Amino acid sequence: FASSTAFHLQNPSTTSSSALYAGVERNANFAKLAGGYLFPEIARRRTSYLEENPAMKDRVISLGIGDTTQPIPPHILNGLVEGAKQLGTKEGYSGYGAEQGMQKLRAKIAEKLYNGIIAADEVFVSDGAKPDIMRLQQMFGPKVVSAVQDPSYPVYVDTSVIMGQTGEQDTNLKQYENVIYMPCTPENGFFPDYSSVPRADIVYLCSPNNPTGAAATKEQLEGLVKLCKERGSILVFDAAYAPFIRSEGVPKSIFEIEGAREVAIEVNSFSKYAGFTGVRLGWTVIPGDLKFKDGSLVRNDFNRIMTTTFNGASNIVQAGGLACLDDEGLAEIDALIDYYLKNANILRETFEKIGYDVYGGVDAPYVFVKLPASMGGSWDAFQTILEKTQVVTIPGAGFGPGGEGFLRLSAFAPREAVVEACKRLEEALAPVSA
């Protein structure tokens, strides 16, 4: 029977029988990956809990994944709306844009967020920091050795595995061969001692940190930049949480550090600045002074990756990015961040009251809580808290072996949800005697 649309397709499964498997070898790197990516795994456990306890559906509060919840404020929203409207006019319409982003946005990022330390043509606008991390990996290729903070945002390690830079995971240590893990603990202020581990080609550092909430000091970053220079390492600095820094003297960008232009790349994003987690807009800075061993410019290779594999961030979204960087937009971002920082403070105070050791949550949206031994491992604690309070958290072990014994809580939930979650947590978690 004829379909009413020209696009009606016939389901091939009803018309042919074919082989069950393609004759293609699976990329062996995927078999090395341990389990699913962390956040879908959390969602899976939450769903499975709700399947068993459907009555709890309306009680679940998520302090898990670091996803923003507050609406996009008016000036920034207007930028997005106007960007969309332009596409409906002859004069305003635009198709493919520059793969590196609109020149106007690159220049505004350089001026407003980097005070001119960075030039417009060193800024590559993208659809977010996470895809940029993978693009950097594609540029570095399979032969580099990477060093990561332990615990850390899982994308650095997982993309290294996918790229084939690593060996298998040691199931006891929960560490991959050929990745250098730099322990970050309360004792070292969650800042890695790169000098105590072997040299890596690429060093990933995230500040303010996900998951520990630690923001690196100027002295710490000066030491790391110096060491990377001496060892010939490239530092990939993830500044996705930079606007949460409110403490005096804490650098918001690695390029505030002398010498960083010769060793560092910075990945960044509007996701957490302006509630753009779903809108998708980020950027990566590659200074013109950064060179590979053969003297070639890193920026040129990244440009090649962008022009070959990316067709530019959405023009609508880039109009939103321009609005973010107007004075009104910057003020709106500050107000949003104030809101989330207040949530972080409520979380901190709650756990302090319960008697746990609490880290982060001052210049960061994450609170990192040390679990008492009585709670078992961090996945056990996650499960117990979910069952007792219907609050979703993230087990520290999900961020690497160094996160075992900790729980990460996100301050991105609405205020009422944070307050309610804290009430339940306080009731459920027995005070720890000193």
Write out the H or E segment, with its range, that includes residue 395.
Answer: strand 394-395
Considering only residues 80, 129, 215, 290, which one is a binding residue for ligand PLP as defined by CB under 6 A?
A: 129
Residue 69 interacts with ligand PLP (CB under 6 A): yes or no = no
Smallest gap from Cβ 81 to ligand PLP, in A, equals: 21
Contact flag: residue 253 with ligand PLP (CB under 6 A): no
Among 38, 61, 66, 200, binds ligand PLP (CB under 6 A): 66
In the complex, the smallest distance separating the C-beta of residue 301 from ligand PLP, rounded to whole angstroms, is 21
Binding region for ligand PLP (CB under 6 A) out of 10-18, 125-133, 142-150, 352-360: 125-133
Q: Burial of 15 by CB count in 10 Å (0-12 exposed, 13-18 middle, 19+ buried)?
A: exposed
Size of the site for ligand PLP (CB under 6 A): 13
CA distance 278 to 165: 30
Nearer residue to ligand PLP within complex by CB, 128 or 405: 128
By CB under 6 A, name the one of 76, 136, 205, 240 that touches ligand PLP: 240
Provide the minimum distance between the beta carbon of 132 and ligand PLP in the complex, in angstroms, as a whole number. Answer: 8
**Closest approach of ligand PLP to the CB of residue 366, in Å:** 9
Residue list 256-295, contact with ligand PLP (CB under 6 A): 269, 271, 277, 282
Taking the complex as a whole, how short is the minimal distance between the CB of residue 412 and ligand PLP, in angstroms? Answer: 9
Q: Could you say which of 99, 122, 150, 238 contacts ligand PLP (CB under 6 A)?
A: 238
Q: Which stretch binds ligand PLP (CB under 6 A): 28-36, 122-130, 158-166, 307-315?
A: 122-130
**Kindly report the CA angle at 137 between 134 and 138, in degrees rounded to 5?**
90
* Nearer to ligand PLP among residue 269 and residue 390 (C-beta): 269
Given 80, 102, 124, 130, the residue binding ligand PLP (CB under 6 A): 130
Q: Which stretch binds ligand PLP (CB under 6 A): 13-21, 102-110, 126-134, 219-227?
A: 126-134
Q: Nearer to ligand PLP by C-beta: 180 or 206?
A: 206
Nearer to ligand PLP, 108 or 135 (CB): 135
For residue 208, cis peptide bond before it (omega within 30 degrees of 0): yes
DSSP letter at 11 equals -
What token pair was written down for 350?
């709650």
Q: In what order do the strands lie in the sheet with 179-183?
A: 123-126, 282-285, 264-269, 234-238, 202-206, 146-150, 179-183
Residues 6+ apart with CB under 8 A from 28: none
CA distance 404 to 173: 11
Residue 91 buriedness (CB in 10 A; 0-12 / 13-18 / 19+): exposed
Measure Cα distances from 135 to 155, 159, 301 in Å: 12, 10, 11
Does the footprint of ligand PLP cover residue 62 (CB under 6 A)? no
Q: What does the per-residue mask of binding to ligand PLP show for 144-163, with x meaning CB under 6 A?
A: ---------x----------
| By CB under 6 A, residue 320 contacts ligand PLP | no
Quote the CA–CA distance of 421 and 108 in Å, as a whole number: 40
Q: What is the nearest approach in angstroms of ligand PLP to the Cβ of residue 38?
A: 11
Q: Which residues lie below 8 Å from residue 36, measured CB to CB, with a gap of 6+?
A: 44
Residues 197-216 that bind ligand PLP (CB under 6 A): 206, 210
101 binds ligand PLP (CB under 6 A): no
Residue 372 class from Cβ within 10 Å (0-12 exposed, 13-18 middle, 19+ buried)?
middle
Which is it for the CA torsion 425, 426, 427, 428, positive or negative? positive
Task: Provide DSSP, 233-270.
Answer: PEEEEE-TTGGG--STT--SSGGGSTTGGGTEEEEEES
Q: Is the separation of the CB atoms in 207 and 216 below 8 Å?
A: yes
Nearer to ligand PLP, 126 or 390 (CB): 126
Residue 118 burial by Cβ neighbours in a 10 Å radius (0-12, 13-18, 19+): buried
If one asks whether residue 63 binds ligand PLP (CB under 6 A), the answer comes out as no
Minimum CB distance to ligand PLP, residue 61 (Å): 19
Nearest approach, Cβ of 241 to ligand PLP (angstroms)? 7
To the nearest whole angstrom, how small is the minimum distance from the Cβ of residue 129 to ligand PLP?
A: 4
CB atoms near residue 171 (< 10 Å): 8
Which residues in 3-69 belong to E strands, given as ranges? 61-62
Is 252 a binder of ligand PLP (CB under 6 A)? no
Site residues, ligand PLP (CB under 6 A): 66, 128-130, 153, 206, 210, 238, 240, 269, 271, 277, 282
